[in-house]
Amino acid sequence: MKIKRRHVTLLEILLVLAILGIVGGIMGINIRKALHEQRFKSEVEVLINQLRLAQELMLIFNGDLYLTLDAAQDGIVSKINLEQPLASWTPPQKSLSHKFTTIRRISLYPPPVGDTSKGALIKFMSGGAIMTKGILRMSTAEQDGPGVLSRYLCLPGYPAPLASVARQLTEEECLTKDEAFDAQLTGRTMGELKVEKGVGVEQ
């Protein structure tokens, strides 16, 4: 028996093309979203590494310095500023300054009195006796909302390991004073840094 070949109609071709277009559009959106999230996470890690470097320079070389985070037209510019040159080590210029384009908003809570800027000033001075205390928010927009990426970092006001979290931190869990925990954490951090003192800071 002879089988009749069915001809594909123009309507069916257009339907297939429409389905392929929809699927391709969804895939394109998901790819852009994933790339955006990855760039944001990478920039957050670069910024935290700068904060770690500033803390290590203060502890190892007993230097006084601060990290400025200033709002720019297309992102945030960070810079480690030394109060005076370090005695035995000159940090690479690339590690001192960086421009972020995915991080669009930086804020410190509670904000310093009288500060209305869209950036932050993080102090690392006097061997840890003078350090900025607060919750640092790094975000792709000014306010949290659908599609907005944010990370939060606790700055306890003394030398400590630095790591960001996705959930919003509260003053109670970040800034409440716990003498025993503080002493243990600071001692551990100082112990780790003493190992590096003889060989400098790795980049």
In a domain, 84, yes or no: yes
In a domain, 5, yes or no: no
In a domain, 195, yes or no: no
DSSP state of 92: -
In a domain, 91, yes or no: yes
Total structural domains in the chain? 1
Q: Please give the helix or strand (H or E) that residue 35 lies within, else none.
A: helix 10-61
What is the per-residue pLDDT across 135-189, written as a single tens digit (0 to 9) for each? 999 999 877 778 899 999 999 888 888 999 988 888 888 876 555 555 555 555 5
3-class SS at 115? Answer: coil
3-class SS at 78? Answer: strand
Query: Would you state the pLDDT for residue 154?
Result: 92
Residues 6+ apart with CB under 8 A from 57: 63, 65, 80, 82, 86, 91, 124, 201
Residue 193 clears pLDDT 60, i.e. is over it: no
Which residue segment(s) compose the domain that 39 sits in?
10-185
pLDDT, mean of residues 105-123: 79
In a domain, 191, yes or no: no
In a domain, 4, yes or no: no
What is the per-residue pLDDT across 25-82, written as a single tens digit (0 to 9) for each? 776 667 788 888 999 999 999 999 999 999 988 888 777 888 999 988 888 999 988 8
Residue 5 clears pLDDT 70, i.e. is over it: no
Query: Would you state the pLDDT for residue 187?
Result: 59
2 by Cβ neighbours in 10 Å (0-12 / 13-18 / 19+) ranks as exposed
In a domain, 192, yes or no: no
CATH of the domain at 94: 3.55.40
Residues 6+ apart with CB under 8 A from 78: 47, 50, 67, 68, 69, 70, 97, 98, 99, 100
In a domain, 190, yes or no: no
Q: What is the pTM of this model?
A: 0.70
Count of residues for the chain?
203
What is the per-residue pLDDT across 85-105, written as a single tens digit (0 to 9) for each? 766 666 666 668 889 999 999
